[in-house]
Structure 1
Amino acid sequence: MKASYDSSPRSEQVDLGPLADLPGFWEGTGFSLIARPQFSGSDNGFFLQLNLLRETIEFTAIGAPVMNRGSRQADIAMGGVTYLHRVTDAATGAGLHIEPGTWLNVPPTQEPAASGSIARLATIPHGNSICLVGGSEIAELPPTIPPANTVPFKIGGEAPPAGTKNPFPEYDLGRSTRFRTAPLPAGITQDLIDDPNSALREALKNQEPIQITRLITTSSPGGVVNIPFIVSNANTVTVESVFAIERVRTCSGATVLQLQYSQTALLSFGGLSFPHVTVGTLVKAF
């Protein structure tokens, strides 16, 4: 369905709401953990790929309201920003990920009855499209960042509680395996594998947060659509993400805008759901 934009001189002002600080160019570093299927020769049917990341995200405000026409209520006008997320391997410079997408600020509605919300739409070249829906919150200071689970679990089951020991040797740096990234990039530790969100906490250690707005979205409601090959071989069933727009004071006394994110996509194959966790810390450069 083609979007409708009202660009007339009298169109109402675009309301970006909690997305207002996103437009601009952000750059920084991150970490990615993914158990990818290994068709033959592996001990447990997967290879654990670990990457330190260099990444940029460029957000551009849509210059007019995005109109959604109503049949059971009056039309709504959404504010939006498009973005392009580029990710390369910090050690080799090789391209790892590119993601065009859109963030939307959705006003309250009567049909359905809902308070204001946000949505993130994206396409990934592997053959996935995602629609994540959620809301925003102002975080209490100092912020609490919960652990990110990396332990696989049965398809349809619940993610194990924090601190659960991973039963697979691929996740244990103290055990030798051919089915884990080697040589291991300097900076990847056991703590990082057990809880990728530890990188976000570490980045905040020498900073003083002034204000944090969290954009919290999930594919339920929303959805994930995959090409048939992915459905058959490593079905991406859910995606959850938190993007935190942070105004922080650095150790030098400067105040900067920072973007931290944590995203978990569940890949289902071999009877298990494998968390694919990506985290990053980026600074607004322009």
Structure 2
Amino acid sequence: MANNNQPDSRTRKFAKVIPPQPMQLEALTNRGTPPPQDLGPLEQLVGAWTGKGTGWNMIALPFQKAPAPPAGFKFRLLMNQYDEELQFTFVDDDVPNRGLTRPGHSDFDQFVVTVDYQQKIAQVVAEDRPHSGLAGAAGLPIHHEPGLWLYEKNRRSKDDQIKGNEVSEVELDVARLASIPHGNSVLALGHSEVHRGMPTIPPVSGLPSGRFEDLSTPDYDFKSDPYLEPYKHYINNPFMGNVGAPGFPGFSPADMNQILRFANQGVNIVRTTTLTVDTTRKRGGIANVPFSVREAEPVSMKSTFWIQELD
């Protein structure tokens, strides 16, 4: 083989190595700096929130090995008590969305407050019905969610607000963006409210939506439907986790907010900020990977944060 002593063109040539030089940093924006005094309704979120055994979750999951009807159907109802870590970090108080002037508006650009969050959840106690052997042990990580909360300072959209028989218009000033490791991404839009004292926490049914709203649905005999046996079981035997506090009602599909009202008993709440977001508002929604769409598609999400300031 001929050798003409020419360097191989495939060989990389390196210049003289220069030791790392001190970096010259220039503050161009307020990103990453301590939060200012006013982040709107998101101000009280910033920081670390930790709950030990104070989280509760119910989810219906596909279950291939379920007993044949009427003893069972192709799902199981999983109940979790969990620990939670929520870390909220200030990002920016003036993210610009560029636009044009519109009738009735002097502003052509929109400016958005942005707060980053990371949510981590590990279960404390779990059980399911019918029993699957899949509920998992204590300490099992069951959720991780990175996301953003947004507060629109101007140029807000409006949407209908329906309460009972009354319809009004509400400004959409907050939004929540979330990414879920199962293959889901969420955009939920909503509004904020601030009021004195304790929040009004309404009952929330955990029964399957679309067929009926609660146990009092007219012309429906809840107890005679074998499909709903797992729900009926936890209504008659609320999930207690490891809690032994006197008067603790347990976690029941009949009213999943009952635990929150129990926790607020005797607490002197002087002010509450409420953040309510919903994927069915305006251009919100959930995007899912194909497997989730085929097997158990999440079609909507509604979330309420009650941020309570204590005396």
Are 2:57 and 2:80, in contact at CA under 8 Å, matched by a contact in 1? yes
> Are 1:194 and 2:254 an aligned pair?
yes
Residue matched to 2:193: 137
Question: Paired residue for 2:4?
Answer: none
Q: Does structure 2 retain, via aligned residues, the 8 Å contact 1:147–1:162?
A: no
Distance 1:246 1:50 in 2: 26
User: Of 271, 277, 282, which aligns to 1:217?
Assistant: 277
Query: Structure 1 vs Structure 2: percent identity of aligned residues?
Result: 32
What do the CA deviations read for 1:246-276 (whole angstroms, capped 9, x no partner)?
0124xxxxxxxxxxxxxxxxxxxxxxxxxxx
Amino acid in the other structure paired with 1:79: V
Question: Which residue of the other structure, out of 50, 64, 87, is the alignment partner of 1:39?
Answer: 64
Deviations 1:120-174 (A, max 9, x none): 0000101110001000112463432111111114xxx365146554741112337
Which of 173, 181, 184 aligns to 2:233? It is 173
Corresponding residue of 2:91: 62
Native 8 Å contact 1:123 1:129 kept in 2: yes
Aligned residue pairs: how many? 233
2-side partners of 1:148 and 1:138: how far apart?
A: 22
Q: Give the superposition deviation at 1:69.
A: 1.2
* DSSP-derived class of the 1:238 partner: coil
Letter in 1 for 2:48: F
Distance 1:117 1:191 in 2: 32
Name 1:122's counterpart in structure 2: 178
Partner of 1:263: none
Structure 2 counterpart SS, 1:65: strand
Q: Equivalent residue for 2:119? A: 85
- 1:107 aligns with 153
- Measured against aligned partners, the alpha-carbon deviations of 1:166-222 in whole angstroms (never above 9, x if no partner) come to 74111233799xxxx9xx734496653321211111110121110001001100121
d(CA) in 2 for partners of 1:112 and 1:185?
41
Which residue of structure 2 aligns with residue 3 of structure 1?
none
Counterpart-to-counterpart distance in 2, 1:174 and 1:236: 23
Deviation at 1:63, TM superposition (A): 3.7
Shift of 1:15: 5.0
Who wins on radius of gyration, i.e. which is larger?
2
Q: Which moved more, 1:105-114 or 1:81-90?
A: 105-114
- TM-score, with structure 1 as normaliser: 0.72
Q: Do structure 1's residue 229 and structure 2's residue 282 form an aligned pair? A: no
Q: CA deviation at 1:65?
A: 1.9
Higher relative contact order (CA closer than 8 Å, sequence separation 6+): 1
Q: Which structure 2 residue ranges, 5 or more long, are not aligned? A: 1-26, 31-35, 103-107, 126-137, 160-169
TM superposition shift of 1:64: 4.8
Secondary structure of 1:41's partner?
coil
- Give the structure 1 partner of residue 133 of structure 2: none
Indicate how the Cα distance of structure 1 residues 110 and 52 shifts in structure 2: closer, same or farther if over 3 A, else same.
Answer: closer
SS at match of 1:105: strand
Is there any run of 5+ residues in structure 1 with no aligned partner, and where? Answer: 1-5, 250-286
Q: 1:119 to 1:174 in 2, by over 3 A?
A: closer
Normalising by structure 2, report the TM-score: 0.67
Correspondence for 1:242: 304
SS of the residue corresponding to residue 193 of structure 1 reads: coil
1:8 shift after superposition: 3.9
**1:205 pairs with 246, 260, 265, which one?**
265
Residue 112 to residue 35, structure 1, CA distance change in 2 (3 Å): closer
